[in-house]
Homo-oligomer: A and B are copies of this chain.
């Protein structure tokens, strides 16, 4: 393909907008790393008898020469050669580094996710910045979380900037979007999952919870301090709030406990991405992943 004004190119470019994504159920992955993860996820899905992830991919000849393994991975999907001009016209990034893929949103339902008996879930409540959403999704992936959930008022994780900032993690674990918070809280409670609010003003100190958990797991005889706080070993859903306002009163009220990541220095507060990383890793460690 060499015509940047072709219909196919225009259709792909439209996926930068939310309405086109909602209408088609498609989104764009840009650049070698994201496309590679999309192709791997596609292969796993097809092998499991599930709908594929990648609808079609477009790459320059130079890109495929530089990264021949991508062509191998693309076997079984439609891979089209395209010029740099075509890719630039499709992509949101100035330079998509020679490859983009049109992907089908995997949209598991909340019930499907809960049916898998998840041990660790990250919930974004009105997280608005695509970069923060990406950081949290990536941290959830690193910590081995079973799912990520975005409430209806959070950023669209399939927007190009958010997809980019997940650095491929979007394709690694189930992501449920557009959930109403009240419905979510009910469902988590019914599933027996402890809801922890990450809240700078929380009365529970994450470091104390981690210490208690370590002693329970590693030196059970020594367990002395019976606390009434949450056990990080349990099935857990962490709530992470809006960048400016934090969690709302309703979100805080729905949580079983409010947990603060302690701030030891003079920093006023933690960035939500940083706090989420520390919280999710604390759970992962306690759950012996």
Residue contact A172 to B267, C-beta cutoff 8 Å: yes
Residue of B nearest to A171 (CB): B266
Residue contact B207 to A285, C-beta cutoff 8 Å: yes
Contacts of A270 in B (CB 8 A): 142
A 101-150 contacts with B by CB, 8 A:
135, 138-145
Are A285 and B211 CB-contacts (below 8 A) given A172-B267, A278-B278?
Answer: yes
A284 vs chain B, min Cβ distance (A): 5
Chain A interface mostly: helix
Task: Check A215 for interface membership: any CB of B closer than 8 A.
Answer: yes
Residue of B nearest to A263 (CB): B142
Task: Check A173 for interface membership: any CB of B closer than 8 A.
Answer: yes
Counting every copy of the chain, the complex holds 2
Contacts of A172 in B (CB 8 A): 265-267
Question: Which segment, of A3-11, A18-26, A81-89, A216-224, faces chain B?
Answer: A216-224
Contact with B along A32-52 (1 / 0, CB 8 A): 000000000000000000000
Are A168 and B268 CB-contacts (below 8 A) given A277-B277, A278-B277?
Answer: yes
Task: Check A169 for interface membership: any CB of B closer than 8 A.
Answer: yes
Contacts of A267 in B (CB 8 A): 138, 141-142, 167-169, 172
Task: Check A1 for interface membership: any CB of B closer than 8 A.
Answer: no
A157 vs chain B, min Cβ distance (A): 16
Residue of B nearest to A33 (CB): B268
With beta carbons under 8 angstroms apart, the residue of B144, B266, B274 that contacts A264 is B144
Task: Check A289 for interface membership: any CB of B closer than 8 A.
Answer: yes
Task: Check A271 for interface membership: any CB of B closer than 8 A.
Answer: yes
Contacts of A266 in B (CB 8 A): 141, 169, 172-173
A222–B214 Cα gap in the complex (Å)?
Answer: 12
Residue contact B214 to A271, C-beta cutoff 8 Å: no
With beta carbons under 8 angstroms apart, the residue of B211, B274, B284 that contacts A214 is B211
A222–B142 Cα gap in the complex (Å)?
Answer: 31
A263–B263 Cα gap in the complex (Å)?
Answer: 24
Residue contact B211 to A217, C-beta cutoff 8 Å: yes
Residue of B nearest to A142 (CB): B267
A142 vs chain B, min Cβ distance (A): 4
Contacts of A278 in B (CB 8 A): 277-278, 281
A 259-289 contacts with B by CB, 8 A:
261-268, 270-271, 273-274, 277-278, 281, 284-285, 289
With beta carbons under 8 angstroms apart, the residue of B138, B218, B262, B281 that contacts A215 is B218
Contacts of A135 in B (CB 8 A): 271, 274
Task: Check A210 for interface membership: any CB of B closer than 8 A.
Answer: yes
A–B complex contacts, Cβ < 8 Å, 15 sampled: A138-B267, A138-B274, A141-B267, A142-B263, A142-B265, A142-B270, A142-B274, A167-B268, A169-B267, A173-B265, A210-B210, A211-B214, A211-B218, A218-B219, A221-B222
